[in-house]
Chain A
Amino acid sequence: MIWLSILAASPSPTPAPTVPGAGIFSSSLLLSLTVWVPVAMAIAIATIPNPRGRYDALMKQIAFFTNLGIMFVLGIAYNQFQSFLPTLQYEEKVPWLQSIGATYHLGVDGPGMTMLILSGLIGIVSVLASLGIRERVRSYFCLLLLAQATVNGAIVARDMFVLILFWGAAAIPIALLVLGWGGPRRRPAAWRLLGYWSLGTAALVVGTMVLYAAAGGGSFDMDVLLKATVSSRVQLAVGLLMIVAAATRLPLFPLHGWARDAYSEAPIGVTVIVAGSASRLGAYLLLRTLVAAEPAAAHLLAPLLAALAAVTVGYGALLALRALDLRQAAAYLALIPGGVTVLALAALQPLSIAGAVLSLFAGGLAAALIVGVCGTLSDRAQSSSLRVLSGLAPRMPILTWLMIIAGLAILGVPLLATFTANLLTFFGSFKTQPIGAFAVAAGLALAAVAFATLWRRVLFSAPNPDAPGVSDASLGESWYLGLLAGGLLWVGLFPGGPKLPGTDSPLFDQGLVNVMAAGISDIASPYVLPTAGP
């Protein structure tokens, strides 16, 4: 049983077997490359002369190969990642605003590396999903690369100043992408997204400043700030502010107001990047600033987090059940993985924290897949109204399969990465948050009903003779949706990575659960129950 091996997975005190290819690439600027190369390419795209759109195709190629190059570098970084080391890796530290104690400090541990791989994958998928863009190609891909850079920056930031910089900057390109290339209701969608995300940024800044002041005002470095001894009151205030910041981004009920419109109105490439990686930053922030740093506040706020998770999952499933628009239904269903991740964080158990990190990855892929596949299906069927769409399975076999995989991924069925994540989450959370865990499980059951209803109505009912003509996914669309589904299947089937037959040596992937485990023991250490003596 694969998942049993995962349950037993913990950072090994001995070095893991060397992966073929390890050590061939080393750069002290590796993380900076993932942040600044997209920025440089965005500037290049913005400055290339493009009379009458003559070089539109070139700009798409630049965006694609930039993301492919970053994924290549990340792939090497992932393979070279020392999964037995609990410390930061690929660290970069340069003094920046010395008088206020801000440093350009980047680094990744296991959860950070997991998020980076997710972001790299989503970056490629978002460009592939955007190849059909015809209007203002230059601006679109410039903004898309900037969005990608800000997400990567927020993931690798190890200084709260740098985190705020990228966290806040992410809202601008994404809101402009929705505003410029979205559907008929793009304007309210963009404003809501900008409003909620700005609220989240404000909460993050205030929370950081409270912590900064309480810690003596010497440094914004996470190694100093998040390890400072502060009173429970300060921890509680910071924790609440971080929950607000995370809830606006993930999103969690009741700060989810931007999600429906943004997911249903944004172009598919943007929806994928928002649902897949940008929104996961919310849970990542909670992991870093609450669970890992403020154990007292985390204990106090865990029931609140569990309640938010349960309400988000239940609310998402219920509204998906009642939705009359396919893309809106997908938007509600995309809230569910975030709820599961937050439940895992609320449980404050080593097992559930591992589940939360895996859920960041798997949930990101699942959310991106559901919004991507429903968006593509709506485009191909020339309608997103559930009154119009029916009986599409025979005419859209590829999209039918992908939609089923997306639903199963959200629900967390075996063989998919979300299954492993959900399993770890529930094993951990039923111990400490039984009511929240039960409510989330009930929400997932409701989501299953919502999916069954959606599949029956859209895919397997009698075809609608009055519906416009439909066509199945193109090769490009199959590729990007297939990449998401493939990622879910790969990690679901080989969470520990494929091994050379008959040996314990990894073939070419040391396994996501091994990589993510680095650092989790450190994060989970305050929550390990003392074992009884002999």
Chain B
Amino acid sequence: MKDLVLLPEALVAATAVILLLAGRLSWFSPGGRRSLPTVVALVMLVALGIELWAGATLGTYFGGGLVQDRFALFAKAAVLLAAAIAFAVVDWTAEDSLTIGLAMPLLATFGVMVAASAGDLVGLWAGLELAAAAGVVMVALRRPDLGLRLLVTGGVASAMLLTGLAFLYASAGTSSLGTMRAVLFSGAPTIAFAIPVFLVISGLAVRAALAPFQLATIPASVGASPLGAGLVLGLVAAAAAIVAIKLVAALTPIPSVYSTYLEVIAAVAMVVGGAAALAAQSPRAKLAYLAAGQIGWVAAGLVTHYRSGLGASLFLLGAFAVAATCGPAVMGRAEGGEQALAGMGVLRPARAAGLSLAMLSLAGAPPLAGFFGEFAVAASLAQSGHFGLLALGILGSALSLAAVAGTLRVMYIQSPPDEARRSTRLPVVSALSSFGAVAFCVVIAVYGLLSSPILGLADQGAEALGLR
């Protein structure tokens, strides 16, 4: 069984490489190309099945470079599910390239999986950078200018991250997360830790598009194809959050080096994310700010530096990964403001329901996945006495909710315009996309109802990081 643990990673990476080669060498016939999304979505489901079946086996690989534990199991399962649904639901006529459009999210998924099971700093950095690089490619396919902007901003983030990780390695004397945690128990919160941690958190905040660090990510996600936007907003942000959770778990013996800075970042992200979503005119931008606000909640859970808080953050991250990755894919083309979605509730009911649920979940509206995650984080904030942060988070959620109400009105209440006058056409309906939209709705709605076992697994994930 232990040999099968890394099979999902192998499947995902191999599929990505085959797709890239096949695209370059034109291996697929037109008929084969049409069925590619279905095949890749099935591959992801098979990988998810293997992960859930074999992933419970604990083990270490590559000399401790990769660790399979409950944390890795939870994070990998969440990201595989998100990617599978995104492949199914996306309108492929709105994508720029079929093979690259399939391969890049696969590579990003692989990157998130590497980060989730990373046992040391190198694995964390490599996984995150792989996911981010795939995002740059996807954005550059449609908008090279935005791709360049994302590359430059990402480069700055990467530099901060790498410098910070290098200093952390130097200060702790090890790159292994487990050993670092053990070393820090006998250490003190010195400036030698505070500066690198500051750099690392800043780099991760840029990668996760946390407000006000959304310099390039949100414009890029607005200009990218639907799947590209989902990759940048969902998978890359999820990778950054996973890195943050693992690093915070390693640094919990000296929480004073990160908690204040993280608290400020979380507070700003939650409130500014909600306010910016309220002000945004474009539905894609609104979705991006909603995602930024929810990632702020994930960061807030880390402030508690308790198992309950990190477990709640991981639980919320699962909901976030699915909603933020699939949300833009469900939305399809939405250039030209919210009017692009007018009447979608009547004309594309399954997609409209999916988009509504994605936005409501990202806003933390009950009784959807995001609400349960945010509530779990809120409970851990209350337990640890962070009432100010809790109040700001609730304010951010209220603003986000108000932002979503406007989009819901356009989709469901506004009459559909004459199709000839519509600036952007609605997504093309196919059997796969309809099935994907329904599956997405079920996942977002059922996540809360099944939250007991899911939160239990997330809690075990936090425990696996050594937290009590």
Q: Are A180 and B409 in contact (CB under 8 A)?
A: yes
Contacts A195-B402, A209-B382 given; 19 further ones with Cβ under 8 A? A96-B451, A96-B452, A100-B308, A102-B379, A168-B366, A169-B365, A172-B365, A180-B409, A191-B402, A194-B405, A195-B398, A198-B402, A201-B398, A206-B390, A209-B387, A212-B379, A213-B387, A217-B382, A220-B379
Q: Are A212 and B383 in contact (CB under 8 A)?
A: yes
| Partner among B397, B408, B455 whose Cβ is within 8 Å of the Cβ of A176 | B408
A398 within 8 A of B: no
381-415 of chain B: CB within 8 A of chain A:
381-383, 385, 387, 390-391, 394-395, 397-398, 401-402, 405, 408-409, 412-413
Q: Are B383 and A179 in contact (CB under 8 A)?
A: no
Q: Are A213 and B385 in contact (CB under 8 A)?
A: yes
A165 within 8 A of B: yes
Q: Which of B311, B360, B372, B394 has the most CB of A within 10 A?
A: B394
A227 within 8 A of B: no
63-94 of chain B: CB within 8 A of chain A:
none
Complex: A99 Cα to B353 Cα, angstroms: 31
A43: min CB distance to chain B, Å:
9
Given contacts A100-B312, A169-B366, A209-B387, A179 and B405 within 8 Å (CB-CB): yes
| Partner among B365, B391, B408, B456 whose Cβ is within 8 Å of the Cβ of A206 | B391
Q: Are B402 and A168 in contact (CB under 8 A)?
A: no
Q: Are B383 and A217 in contact (CB under 8 A)?
A: yes
131-173 of chain A: CB within 8 A of chain B:
136, 139, 161, 164-166, 168-169, 171-172
Residues of B within 8 A of A166 (CB): 366
Q: B residues near A, CB below 8 A?
A: 308, 311-312, 345, 349, 353, 360, 365-367, 371-372, 375-376, 378-383, 385, 387, 390-391, 394-395, 397-398, 401-402, 405, 408-409, 412-413, 451-452, 455-456, 459
A105: min CB distance to chain B, Å:
14
Q: Are B376 and A100 in contact (CB under 8 A)?
A: yes
A205 within 8 A of B: yes
A324 within 8 A of B: no
Interface SS of chain A? helix
Q: Are A209 and B376 in contact (CB under 8 A)?
A: no
Q: Are B390 and A198 in contact (CB under 8 A)?
A: no
Q: What are 7 contact pairs spanning A and B, CB under 8 A?
A: A99-B376, A102-B379, A164-B366, A176-B413, A180-B412, A209-B378, A217-B382
A465 within 8 A of B: no
Q: Are B398 and A198 in contact (CB under 8 A)?
A: yes
Residue of A nearest to B462 (CB): A99
164-201 of chain A: CB within 8 A of chain B:
164-166, 168-169, 171-172, 175-176, 179-180, 190-191, 194-195, 198-199, 201
Q: A residues near B, CB below 8 A?
A: 46, 95-102, 136, 139, 161, 164-166, 168-169, 171-172, 175-176, 179-180, 190-191, 194-195, 198-199, 201-202, 205-206, 209-210, 212-213, 217, 220
A70: min CB distance to chain B, Å:
19
CB-CB nearest 3 A-B residue pairs: A209-B382, A180-B413, A198-B398
Complex: A168 Cα to B367 Cα, angstroms: 9
Residue of A nearest to B311 (CB): A99
Complex: A189 Cα to B102 Cα, angstroms: 45
Q: How many pairs of A and B residues are in contact by the CB < 8 Å rule? A: 110
Given contacts A100-B312, A179-B405, A179-B413, A210 and B366 within 8 Å (CB-CB): no
Given contacts A168-B366, A169-B365, A95 and B452 within 8 Å (CB-CB): yes
Residues of B within 8 A of A201 (CB): 394, 398
| Partner among A101, A179, A202 whose Cβ is within 8 Å of the Cβ of B409 | A179
Residue of B nearest to A191 (CB): B402
Residues of B within 8 A of A213 (CB): 382-383, 385, 387
Residues of B within 8 A of A217 (CB): 379, 382-383
Q: Are B398 and A202 in contact (CB under 8 A)?
A: yes
Given contacts A176-B412, A180-B412, A199-B398, A209 and B390 within 8 Å (CB-CB): yes
Complex: A171 Cα to B397 Cα, angstroms: 13
Q: Are B382 and A212 in contact (CB under 8 A)?
A: yes
Q: Are A176 and B398 in contact (CB under 8 A)?
A: no
Residues of A within 8 A of B383 (CB): 212-213, 217
Q: Are B367 and A210 in contact (CB under 8 A)?
A: no
Given contacts A164-B366, A169-B367, A209-B387, A97 and B372 within 8 Å (CB-CB): yes
Residue of A nearest to B399 (CB): A198
Complex: A164 Cα to B387 Cα, angstroms: 17
Complex: A179 Cα to B405 Cα, angstroms: 9
A513: min CB distance to chain B, Å:
34
Q: Are A98 and B409 in contact (CB under 8 A)?
A: no
Complex: A99 Cα to B315 Cα, angstroms: 11
Residues of B within 8 A of A98 (CB): 452, 455-456
Residues of A within 8 A of B412 (CB): 136, 139, 176, 180
Complex: A169 Cα to B372 Cα, angstroms: 13
B412: min CB distance to chain A, Å:
5
B414: min CB distance to chain A, Å:
9
Residues of B within 8 A of A96 (CB): 451-452
Residues of A within 8 A of B366 (CB): 164-166, 168-169
